[in-house]
Structure 1
Amino acid sequence: MSSFVDRFDLWSPAQAEAAEALIRRIDAEGLELVRFAYPDQHGVLRGKTLVAAAARDALREGVNMTTTLLAKDTSHKTVFPVFSSGGGFDFEGMQGGADFTMVADPETFRVLPWAHKTGWVLCDAYMADGRPSPLSSRQILRRAIGQLDEFGLDFVAGLEVEFHVFRLDDPRMALGDSGQPGTPPSVSLLSHGHQYLTEQRYDDVDGVMELLRHHIQGLGLPLRSLEIEFGPSQFELTFGPTIGLAPADAMVLLRSAVKQICRRHGYHATFMCRPKIPNVMSSGWHLHQSLRSKRDGHNVFVPTQAGDDLSATGRHYLAGLLAHASGSAVLASPTINGYRRYRPFSLAPDRALWARDNRGAMLRVLGGVGQAATRIENRIGEPAANPYLYLASQLFSGLDGLRRQLEPGPSADTPYDTAAPALPRTLGDALDALRSDDYLCEQLGPRFVSYLCHIKEAELARFNLEVSEWEHREYFEMF
């Protein structure tokens, strides 16, 4: 009987060849375990670990997982009535916690440098009948990338990711600390902050930086720089440009790797945008993007006339990003906490505009005539974003600009003083903006938008039920 992969023709010839190479590598390197992981709706990796003998068969047969994993919010609570008729979904296969199947993408295989004789492979989610899961964010990005074929273009992106690393003082594993979510760990600083990019501060944390560098390069990720950011215990890593799905795949692996490596060595890493730490600085995820010709590989954003910031293609793409800036905001900043970043003159953009090499703008244009690295940097994202949805939102928006040949208007040299549409300031506002963007809803799929909004509204409802420290401090004595 044919395998799941063969029955539904799920691999390209290149993937089939990579699967054979993967099996040879398991044998040659004596690997004992393989982690099969898929990026869920939040961009968090979930999966199962198989012994090597079972992993060989699972490459083509897939690995079964419960569909309740597709129904969870960020507390890991199931927020759909999965045991009711239909399971709370409008398509078959989700009722009663039935299985879906993870199918490995063999071209993503890595050996984890920090785990004993352990391989890792990224997977896609398929329903039992071989259909791609309509809730799979990796499939949405793949669809967005496919639309570039009509223009003969590839998507190119580089990552610039801020995050925090603290010393782990107490993991808070007492019996009373369990829950959904459990009590967060107690931590202390590795640096006082506010000595941005000083060599002395870098040397103070060289041990942690070397730990991260060694393992990240061991994964084959295109690491370019390691930096001390402005805030206490805040770091930044930048990565060279990659093509298609690769930037999103790199981001989910990077986040998981950094957290695992740090935890094993007595640190706590977090990609939460703004932790509740005194004098903290918010973390962003700045996405550098461009398009290149499939025919000859040249960057089609590069202008040909002196004085131009972008080519006509680049301008149209830029205008599409602006046209859908509010609608795509929830895909770039999907957490309640992400909107704590928007403060006056904070280097976080507060309105939909662009500027030439200006860090106050949402879209910062870099490069120019004769510069192969001409690109658009979107500064709206938070590092907790699902990378597949963030990148897909950029592609769908830019494609709309290309098709309609939109123009972005002039550069905003004073971005915090220039009149422009305000970006959403709360998660609720961002959800409303997405629902109001008919084009993005169509491209993402109305079913997926409804699903995503349901999960995010469940998180908002839990948040609104809790009494905050601010409320207690403000009202407890006064009234």
Structure 2
Amino acid sequence: MASFVERYDLWSPDQHKWAHDVVKRIEAESLNLVRFVFPDQHGILRGKTLVAEEAKQALWDGVNLTSTLLLKDTSHKTVFPVFNSTGFQIEGLKGASDFTIVADPQTFRVLPWANKTGWVLCDAYTVEGQVMPISSRQLMQRALKELDGFSCDFVAGLEVEFHAFKLEGQRLGLADGGQPGTPPDVSLLTHGYQYLTELRYDRVDDLMELLRSQLQAADLPLRSMEIEFGPSQFELTFSPTVGMAPADLMVFLRSAIKQICWRNGYHATFMCRPKIPNVMSSGWHLHQSLRRRSDGQNLFMPQEDGQELSDMGMHYLGGLKQHARASAAFACPTINGYRRYRPFSLAPDRAVWARDNRAAMLRILGGKGLAASRIENRMGEPTANPYLYMASQLFAGLHGMQNQIDPGPSVDVPYETQAEPLPRSLQEAIDSLREDSYLVEKMGRVFVDYYCFIKEAEIARFNLDVTEWEHREYFDLF
């Protein structure tokens, strides 16, 4: 009987070849387990772990999962009414039915920190072999496909900030269960405010060496490891990669760092602004450009003196600027992420661009003859689902190219220039997304309705809780 992959013709000839190579590697390295994972709507990896013998056939047969995994908010609560006939429904997901994840064999790797364990990223399909319309990885694949008309590829470099702490207690008491559960008790590794000092780096060398060795053993293109400004805050940068690779890298990186740290007595978080004294917010700066397929030339590199970017690059920039407010829903998808927007905080607060100015949302780097010419978007937070963030960037940039959108002049004082403000809350970002007819069309009306529904469920839960600020402000006063 034909496998799921063969029945629905889901792989290219290259993927079939890679799958056979994966089987050979499972056998050659005597692996015991393989994790089949897919990025959910939040960019969190979910899936099943199979013993090696089952995993070899599952490459072609796929792995069935419960569809409610696609219907959860960040507390892991299913927010859609899957067992009744009313409310927002997505075709094929009623009754907590199954869907199938199918491995992309090119993404297979062996986890250096786990005993004889392989790992592979998967794409989501209905049990009838149709692309799941709410699958974020396949949404980015669709965005990349639109570059075919320009005969070019998407290139992105990652610059990711995060916090890491020493775990002070890993025991979970009976009262610590919940949805969500109790956060771990932690202490600082650095007191902060000694940005890029060698002494501070040397004092956390054990953690840095642990991360370096494990990430490089997993074949990640690590460039630098840095002490960031805030307490227990760090930054990693990576060499640019092409196509799906930057997004695949980001989801793997976050999960890898959290696993490596926890196994060694640390807690890592990509939460934008943890609740610790004197905290500095973490950002995710996304460097992007386009590369011509025929010769690999950077198409954003200007050809004339005085140009910041090529004409194509400037039009791409214009699209990013025009759709900045709507794309904030994907670049900054948590309530906490909007606490980053503070005066003169190195986080952008309005849709402007400038040459090499870190206060601008869109920072232009490069120039004539510089192959690294690129746009750095400084709006994102490190929790963002990379497939949705990058897809929204691609769609926005392509709109600029297709319509030759002028981004306007560079600004010298980004925090003082009169310009369209970025959203100041997740709800404002969701509202801006709904109002952007172009981005709604490109991301898909069904997907946008689904995404907004989940995000507004999170907002509704947040609004039900009384915050410490409210209690402190009003309990005694009134």
| TM-score bin, normalised by smaller chain | over 0.9
Q: How does 1:269-288 map to 2 (within 5 A)?
A: 269-288=268-287
Report the CA distance between 1:409 and its aligned residue: 1.0
Given residue 106 of structure 2, which amino acid in structure 1 is its aligned partner? E
Aligned length: 478
What is the match of residue 199 of structure 1?
A: 198
What is the match of residue 112 of structure 2?
A: 113
Give the conservation status (yes or no) of the 8 Å contact 1:103–1:125.
Answer: yes
1:69 has 2:69 as partner: yes
d(CA) in 1 for partners of 2:89, 2:151: 37
What is the match of residue 318 of structure 1?
A: 317
What is the match of residue 176 of structure 2?
A: 177
What is the match of residue 13 of structure 2?
A: 13
RMSD: 0.8
d(CA) in 1 for partners of 2:430, 2:132: 22
Give the conservation status (yes or no) of the 8 Å contact 1:172–1:184.
Answer: no
d(CA) in 1 for partners of 2:124, 2:312: 34
- What is the SS of the residue equivalent to 1:381? coil
What is the match of residue 440 of structure 2?
A: 441
What is the match of residue 23 of structure 2?
A: 23
- What is the SS of the residue equivalent to 2:378? strand
What is the match of residue 426 of structure 1?
A: 425
d(CA) in 2 for partners of 1:360, 1:18: 44
Report the CA distance between 1:171 and its aligned residue: 3.0
1:60 has 2:60 as partner: yes
What is the match of residue 102 of structure 2?
A: 103
Q: How does 1:203-242 map to 2 (within 5 A)?
A: 203-242=202-241
d(CA) in 2 for partners of 1:36, 1:86: 33
d(CA) in 2 for partners of 1:142, 1:412: 34
- What is the SS of the residue equivalent to 1:326? helix
- What is the SS of the residue equivalent to 1:203? helix
Report the CA distance between 1:170 and its aligned residue: 1.7
Given residue 437 of structure 1, which amino acid in structure 2 is its aligned partner? D
Give the conservation status (yes or no) of the 8 Å contact 1:102–1:124.
Answer: yes
Report the CA distance between 1:90 and its aligned residue: 3.9
Give the conservation status (yes or no) of the 8 Å contact 1:127–1:133.
Answer: yes
Given residue 411 of structure 2, which amino acid in structure 1 is its aligned partner? A
What is the match of residue 157 of structure 1?
A: 156
d(CA) in 2 for partners of 1:310, 1:446: 33
d(CA) in 1 for partners of 2:374, 2:332: 21
What is the match of residue 334 of structure 2?
A: 335
d(CA) in 1 for partners of 2:114, 2:405: 49
d(CA) in 1 for partners of 2:83, 2:38: 24
Given residue 74 of structure 1, which amino acid in structure 2 is its aligned partner? T
What is the match of residue 45 of structure 1?
A: 45
What is the match of residue 254 of structure 1?
A: 253
- What is the SS of the residue equivalent to 1:101? strand
- What is the SS of the residue equivalent to 1:403? helix
d(CA) in 2 for partners of 1:198, 1:134: 47
Cα distance change of structure 1 residues 87 and 39 upon mapping to structure 2, 3 Å threshold: farther
What is the match of residue 78 of structure 1?
A: 78
Report the CA distance between 1:84 and its aligned residue: 1.4
Report the CA distance between 1:172 and its aligned residue: 5.3
d(CA) in 2 for partners of 1:88, 1:378: 34
TM-score, scaled to structure 2? 0.99
d(CA) in 2 for partners of 1:282, 1:88: 35
Report the CA distance between 1:85 and its aligned residue: 3.0
Report the CA distance between 1:86 and its aligned residue: 7.8
What is the match of residue 349 of structure 1?
A: 348
Report the CA distance between 1:88 and its aligned residue: 3.9
d(CA) in 1 for partners of 2:476, 2:128: 60
- What is the SS of the residue equivalent to 1:288? strand
Given residue 35 of structure 1, which amino acid in structure 2 is its aligned partner? R
d(CA) in 1 for partners of 2:49, 2:67: 18
Give the conservation status (yes or no) of the 8 Å contact 1:87–1:95.
Answer: no
Q: Deviations over 1:163-220 (max 9, x none)?
A: 0000000235100011000110110000000000000000000000000001111111
Q: Deviations over 1:458-479 (max 9, x none)?
A: 0000000000000000000000
d(CA) in 2 for partners of 1:57, 1:449: 35
Q: Deviations over 1:225-282 (max 9, x none)?
A: 0000000000000000000100000000000000000000000000000000000000
- What is the SS of the residue equivalent to 1:183? coil
- What is the SS of the residue equivalent to 1:253? helix
d(CA) in 2 for partners of 1:8, 1:86: 32
- What is the SS of the residue equivalent to 1:134? coil
Of stretches 163-172 and 317-326 in structure 1, the one that deviates more from structure 2 is 163-172
- What is the SS of the residue equivalent to 1:34? strand
d(CA) in 1 for partners of 2:242, 2:319: 20
1:126 has 2:119 as partner: no
| Identity within the alignment, % | 68
d(CA) in 2 for partners of 1:112, 1:246: 17
Report the CA distance between 1:87 and its aligned residue: 8.0
Given residue 419 of structure 1, which amino acid in structure 2 is its aligned partner? Q
d(CA) in 1 for partners of 2:396, 2:88: 30
d(CA) in 2 for partners of 1:334, 1:193: 26
Unaligned 5+ segments in structure 2 are: none
What is the match of residue 166 of structure 1?
A: 165
What is the match of residue 371 of structure 1?
A: 370
d(CA) in 2 for partners of 1:87, 1:29: 49
Given residue 371 of structure 2, which amino acid in structure 1 is its aligned partner? A
d(CA) in 2 for partners of 1:103, 1:82: 24
Unaligned 5+ segments in structure 1 are: none
d(CA) in 2 for partners of 1:122, 1:361: 35
Give the conservation status (yes or no) of the 8 Å contact 1:172–1:183.
Answer: no
TM-score, scaled to structure 1? 0.99
- What is the SS of the residue equivalent to 1:328? helix
- What is the SS of the residue equivalent to 2:157? strand
